[in-house]
Amino acid sequence: MNTIDLLNSHRSIRKFQSRAIEQDKMNRILECGMRASNTGNMQIYSIIVTQQPDNVAALSKLHFGQGSTAPAFLTICVDVNRYHHWCRLRGCDEPYDNFLWLMSGTVDASLAAQNICVAAEAEGLGFCYLGTVMYNTKAIAELMELPKGVVPIVTLCMGYPDEQPAQSERLPLEGVVHDEKYHDYSDDDIERIHRIREEFPFNQEMVRQNGTRNLAEIFTKIRYPKKDNVAISQALLDFVKQAGMMEQ
């Protein structure tokens, strides 16, 4: 399968075989992650691979039970701790404990994660991105004994698929891509580009089962309501400050 077909065939996997991932295969995948573009070739990230069953179970619990059948979790973190250590050994300043490098490291970690994902699928593995890494950041950091300067950003559960689910819908190209300058959306634009999501059978069934007026209400009232967003945002900000990544 060529790269274009591989990328276009992606689907999230949530059920995995018990089969472990071979170490040489895991190493190849991780090396692909480390070849991703990054800020200044500084690689301000670390990748924590969790495969021991007890640790996998504990990590799955912090992700609200997601990935419970996966043989491996990969947690990709912003990491200025390692770089600062090197700077100290070389008698240099430690200037990366701030919001700029939290953002730069987040981009770098995300690029590495996407390379890992593509490589994993090329190797016959499946994965699911777990956004809940942002919900329990402090507890995840404590479980992994992360030092100051290290912030979890992306979690992937990974393994050999034990299902072949249908692909999720995506917005059409015109809903995301802007030519030359940002083109703000008219009401008609919004109606047209979101039609594919609102007419997708799975989404229509969610609306029916939850008794909501429409798909937007599923997101704003049930999945990601504002009260949860505010509380999680505050907890995440508190952790980032505790991790020493918001120095002035």
Task: Give pLDDT tens digits along the chain (248 positions).
Answer: 899 999 999 999 999 999 999 999 999 999 999 999 999 999 999 999 999 999 999 999 999 999 999 999 999 999 999 999 999 999 999 999 999 999 999 999 999 999 999 999 999 999 999 999 999 999 999 999 999 999 999 999 999 999 999 999 999 999 999 999 999 999 999 999 999 999 999 999 999 999 999 999 999 999 999 999 999 999 999 999 999 998 76
- 29-38 per-position pLDDT tens digit: 999 999 999 9
Amino acid letter for position 29: I
pLDDT on residue 1: 85
Q: Concatenate the DSSP letters of all residues of the chain into one string.
A: --HHHHHHT------B-SPPPPHHHHHHHHHHHHTS--GGG---EEEEEE-SHHHHHHHHHHTTTTTTT-SEEEEEEEE-HHHHHHHHHTT------SHHHHHHHHHHHHHHHHHHHHHHHHTT-EEEE-GGGGTSHHHHHHHTTPPTTEEEEEEEEEESBS--PPPPP---GGGT--SSS--PPPHHHHHHHTHHHHT-HHHHHHHHHHT-SSHHHIIIIIIS-HHHHHHHHHHHHHHHHHTT----
Instruction: Check residue 27 and give its pLDDT.
Output: 98
Residue 34 lies inside a defined structural domain of this protein: yes
- Residue 79: inside a domain: yes
Domain that holds residue 72: 3-166
Q: Is 173 within the bounds of a domain?
A: no
Question: What is the per-residue pLDDT across 76-102, written as a single tens digit (0 to 9) for each?
Answer: 999 999 999 999 999 999 999 999 999
Measured between alpha carbons, how far apart are the two ends of the chain, in Å?
48
- Confidence at residue 248, expressed as pLDDT on a 0 to 100 scale: 60
Tell me if 42 is assigned to some domain. Answer: yes
In this structure, what CATH number is given to the domain that contains residue 50? 3.40.109.10
**59 in a domain, yes or no?**
yes
Residue 138 lies in a domain: yes
**Has residue 43 been placed in a domain?**
yes
Please report whether residue 120 resides in a domain: yes
Q: How many domains does the chain have?
A: 1
